[in-house]
Structure 1
Amino acid sequence: MSSVTLSLAKLHMNIDGTTDDELIQLYIDAAEVWLGNYIGKQLANFDPVPADLKLAVLKLVAFYYEQREAVAFGISMQLAPYGVISLADSYREEWFGNGE
């Protein structure tokens, strides 16, 4: 089960209608996978999912939706907006070695 619903994601992005529902659901699924990989723990393992991680999912979904056809030349592109990273960092499991 998703940490955020399709209706909440649409409310967050102020989207009416159902034209993009399948696309938005794909972005929800992708955002949850990305966040789970980033923090080292899948969101489904949280019970309940903390509000700040839900907000990170919503921000990432909006980013994917708004940047779906972005093409950039000569500028730095990021895989997630800084706000998402800031929200997720406190949940990130240690990913450096133990000094070895």
Structure 2
Amino acid sequence: MPGITLEQAKAHLNVTIDADDALLSDKLAAAKAWIGAYTASDPDANGTPAPVNEAVLQLTAHLYENREATLIGVTATALPFGFLDLLASYRAFAF
């Protein structure tokens, strides 16, 4: 299966309307780009490991649900819990 699709991201987020498709597509593309840079891989390639796909879904959801740098009255989190753990085995170190 080549990468996470918009439909999979919507199912993960339990989004049933099409009104945010463009916004969610942008968040999905940003998540794939971030994870691609972090792992020096293409998260859209065939055979992407399940933990990487889960990380794409988690980061997409995080970006979609936290669209502002700061929110009044909300406890902010940098990244979803366990997100970096999912990618630890796939991280590319560059110096």
State the TM-score, normalizing by the size of structure 1: 0.78
Q: List gaps (5 residues or longer) in structure 2.
A: none
What CA deviation, in whole Å up to 9, does each residue of 1:26-47 have, x standing for no partner?
A: 1110000000111122324x43
State the TM-score, normalizing by the size of structure 2: 0.82
Q: Which residue of 2 aligns with 1:61?
A: 60
Which letter does structure 1 place at the counterpart of 2:49? P
Closer, same or farther: CA 77–14 of 1 in aligned 2, 3 Å: closer
Which letter does structure 1 place at the counterpart of 2:17? G
Q: Which residue of 2 aligns with 1:17?
A: 17
CA RMSD across the alignment? 2.2
User: How far apart in 2 are the matches of 1:95 and 1:15?
Assistant: 37
Q: Which residue of 2 aligns with 1:5?
A: 5
Name which one, 1 or 2, has greater alpha-carbon Rg: 1
Shift of 1:22: 0.5
Shift of 1:70: 4.2
Identity %: 36
Closer, same or farther: CA 12–77 of 1 in aligned 2, 3 Å: closer
User: How far apart in 1 are the matches of 2:69 and 2:15?
Assistant: 20
Shift of 1:19: 0.4
Q: List gaps (5 residues or longer) in structure 1.
A: none
Does the 8 Å CA contact 2:3/2:46 hold for their aligned counterparts? Answer: no
Does the 8 Å CA contact 2:40/2:92 hold for their aligned counterparts? Answer: yes
Counterpart of 1:16 in 2: which secondary structure? coil
Count of aligned positions: 92
